Amino acid sequence: MSRSHLLLASLLGGFLFLYLPIVLLVVTSFNASRLTTVWTGFSLRWYAALLADQHLIEAALLSLRIAAVSATLATLLGGLAGYALARLGRFRFRGVFAGLLAAPLVLPDLLIGLALLLLFVAVEAAFGGPERGALTVTLAHATASLAYVAVVVEARLHDAGTALEEAAMDLGASPLQAFGHVTLKLAAPALAAGWLLAFTLSLDDVVIASFVSGPGATTLPMVVFSTLRIGATPELNALATVVMGVVSAALLLGWAVAGRRR
Amino acid sequence: MRLLVLTPVWVWLCGLVALPACVLAAIALATPADAIPPFTLGVGLDSLAATVLDPFYRDALLGSLRVAALASGLCLLLGYPMALAIARSAPHRQPLLLTLVMLPFWTGFLLRIAAWTQLLRDDGWINAALLAVGATDAPFVLLHTDFAMLVGIVYAYLPFMVLPLQARLSRADPLLEQAAADLGAGPWRRFATITLPLSLPGVVAGLVLVFVPVTGEYVIPEMLGGPGSPMLGRAIWEEFFDNHDWPLAASLSLVLLALLLAPAMLLRRAR
């Protein structure tokens, strides 16, 4: 076997490892039996159970709301931070700025969750609020993901260079106009990608949310995790299939749009 | 203009990154108490000392480091040929292959780990298959073992290894390898003297990207690992939620933070 065959075999093996569990999840979600290893016929009963699960649906809606707001906050702040790193040169305390920005990126979720919870408890003790719940989860998620947006935006602006902005200003644009008409448009794809990344990170997080959330706000991953502690259910396989379907569809759409632009 | 850009980010970073770190340090020095919140502020080193002196926490600490080292090594072994295969494939196919590597990452971390519980448990798919072909009479105990935990960790973090490796490998100049081949170097020699050294920054980045989050991993050890597998993430979680010993949880977190500083710095230099 030549080296290229060996490489190809390892790639196929790797994909098998990554996708076999997913395929089994999808297949089982259509199984009529509650036993995962016994196929008794095609059925949509677990999807019906999913739709009837009010607790799960409420948690999913809450998670989507938190993900949308925290991703937007992370994009605004991360966009500014990425712009600062790419365009403002050697501003004061740049090293501290970059370090604080990167910290949540390189630390385990557990540390972020615990540190932020301790902060929220201290603030609540000192000022009587805010109560822990959707708001604190949103703030925590925005903090955890803003660095991702900053990295993407900085890389994009860095690669694009400053020539276009300089040209705009040579042609009489004010700095603010150059920012709005040139820089913002250059950064737009990175901002969109960063928003999506922040959105998915928030939707997928269970550790940070478990720490900083309160009794009134249980996110979807928190519900899934507490169910899984008792044991995996076919209903959750159906949920996994729905999530994968939505993500694949979104990716295909992205490919189609990107393909048409090219 | 500069102020307008920098001020909101500074305020956010100071309030929600620097300040929580200070609070964490302050509570690590506090003493546990029967109150709400369960500590009294002060300067005591008992909790911090316990993290290294108490054998339970020392084992958790060392266990985490061992699992993280093992997992990042395994990810490298599995991920390197995958990354190389992607980097060597036709340029128009690379985006699709990379998307295939990333896709599982976008599809719900918890649910993918749940797939492994269904694969590994006593009445799961693997045991059902083994029983069906007659390879065994009684099901193997696979779930809730260190093996299951390691498989789950490698499964979840493999993309973090493949992506930086592929980025490095596809940037290497193919002419270098060709020149070595023309000069008579065999495939393994070309790999050892050209491909591998050129990809080292990617190797470092991949190792760190797996090692750091795995050291603090909580969910996978909890779902797939055995009750005895000592992991720092689990110890922190249990001290906080079950034993309500906040100073100890904060101390363990500080130790973890200190341990991860070195690899984090390494990552910034590798970039």
pLDDT block averages, 10 residues each, chain A of length 262: 80 94 91 83 91 93 96 96 91 90 89 95 88 94 95 91 88 86 90 91 94 92 92 88 86 72 52
**CA B207/CA B72 separation, integer angstroms:** 5
Model pLDDT, residue A156: 92
Angle at the Cα of A117 (from A116 to A121), degrees rounded to 5?
A: 120
Answer whether A47 touches B (CB < 8 Å): no
Model pLDDT, residue A18: 94
Which is it for strands B31-32 and B39-40: parallel, antiparallel or unpaired? antiparallel
**Chain B CB contacts of A35 below 8 Å:** 123
Give me A80's structure tokens. Answer: 């500014």
The percent of residues in chain B predicted with pLDDT above 90, rounded, is: 52
Q: Which residue of B has its CA nearest to A139?
A: B16
pLDDT exceeds 80 at position B271? no
**Which 178-237 residues of chain A touch chain B by CB within 8 A?**
200, 204, 206-207, 211, 221, 224-225, 228-229, 231-232, 236-237
Inter-chain contact A109–B268, Cβ cutoff 8 Å?
no
**CA A214/CA B109 separation, integer angstroms:** 22
Q: Tell me if residue B39 falls in helix, strand or coil.
A: strand
Q: Is A190 exposed, middle or buried (0-12, 13-18, 19+ CB in 10 A)?
A: buried
Model pLDDT, residue B240: 92
What's the DSSP call for residue B40? Answer: E
Model pLDDT, residue A261: 57
- For chain B, which residues make up each domain, given as ranges? 45-270
In a domain, A240, yes or no: no
The mean pLDDT value of chain B amounts to: 89
Which CATH superfamily, name and number, covers B45-270? MetI-like (1.10.3720.10)
- B188, B204, B177: which is closest to B263 by C-alpha? B204
**Min CA distance, B224 vs chain A (Å)?**
10
In a domain, A134, yes or no: yes
Q: Which residue of A has its CA nearest to B153?
A: A18
The percent of residues in chain B predicted with pLDDT above 70, rounded, is: 99
Size of interface A-B (CB pairs under 8 A): 215
**Chain B CB contacts of A91 below 8 Å:** 2, 6
In a mutational test of the B interface, the residue from A76, A93, A118 whose CB has the highest number of chain B CBs within 10 Å is: A118
Beta carbons within 10 angstroms of residue A61's beta carbon: 11
DSSP string, chain A: --HHHHHHHHHHHHHHHHHHHHHHHHHHHTBSSSSTT----B--HHHHHHHH-HHHHHHHHHHHHHHHHHHHHHHHHHHHHHHHHHHS-S-TTHHHHHHHHHHHHHS-HHHHHHHHHHHHHHHHHHHS-PPSSHHHHHHHHHHHHHHHHHHHHHHHHHHH-SHHHHHHHHTT--HHHHIIIIIHHHHHHHHHHHHHHHHHHHHH--HHHHHH--TT---HHHHHHHHHHH---HHHHHHHHHHHHHHHHHHHHHHHHHHHH-
In a mutational test of the B interface, the residue from A8, A17, A18, A248 whose CB has the highest number of chain B CBs within 10 Å is: A18
In a domain, A221, yes or no: no
In a domain, A73, yes or no: yes
In a mutational test of the A interface, the residue from B1, B13, B36 whose CB has the highest number of chain A CBs within 10 Å is: B13
B141-148: which pairs have CB atoms within 8 A and are 24 or more residues apart? B143/B117, B143/B224, B144/B224, B144/B225, B144/B226, B144/B227, B145/B225, B145/B226, B146/B67, B146/B225, B146/B226, B146/B229, B148/B116, B148/B120, B148/B224, B148/B225
Model pLDDT, residue B270: 63
Which residue would you say has higher pLDDT here, B76 or B143? B76
Model pLDDT, residue A230: 85
Confidence of residue B187 (pLDDT cuts 50, 70, 90): confident
Q: Which residue of A has its CA nearest to B101?
A: A15
Domain housing A135? 65-216
**Min CA distance, A79 vs chain B (Å)?**
9
Answer whether B264 touches A (CB < 8 Å): yes
Answer whether A61 touches B (CB < 8 Å): no
Inter-chain contact B117–A100, Cβ cutoff 8 Å?
no
In a domain, A53, yes or no: no
Kind and range of the H or E element at B31?
Answer: strand B31-32
Q: Are B143 and B117 in contact (CB under 8 A)?
A: yes
Inter-chain contact B110–A221, Cβ cutoff 8 Å?
yes
In a mutational test of the A interface, the residue from B3, B9, B36 whose CB has the highest number of chain A CBs within 10 Å is: B9
Answer whether A155 touches B (CB < 8 Å): no
Q: Are B167 and B101 in contact (CB under 8 A)?
A: no
Answer whether A88 touches B (CB < 8 Å): yes
Beta carbons within 10 angstroms of residue A223's beta carbon: 22
Answer whether A239 touches B (CB < 8 Å): yes
Q: Kindly provide the b/e burial profile for residues A10-33, where b requires at least 16 CB atoms within 10 angstroms of the residue's own CB.
A: bbeebeebbeebbebbbebbbbee
Residues B2-20 have a mean pLDDT of 92
Q: Is A85 exposed, middle or buried (0-12, 13-18, 19+ CB in 10 A)?
A: buried
pLDDT in tens, B37-80: 888 888 888 888 888 889 999 999 999 999 999 999 999 999 99
CATH number at residue A109: 1.10.3720.10
In a domain, A192, yes or no: yes
pLDDT in tens, B98-142: 988 988 877 788 999 999 999 998 888 888 888 888 888 888 888
Answer whether A123 touches B (CB < 8 Å): no
At how many degrees (to 10) do helices A234-261 and A3-29 cross? 130
**Min CA distance, A218 vs chain B (Å)?**
15
Inter-chain contact A4–B108, Cβ cutoff 8 Å?
no
Q: Tell me if residue B66 falls in helix, strand or coil.
A: helix
Domain count, chain A: 1
**Which 193-222 residues of chain B touch chain A by CB within 8 A?**
212-213, 215-219, 222
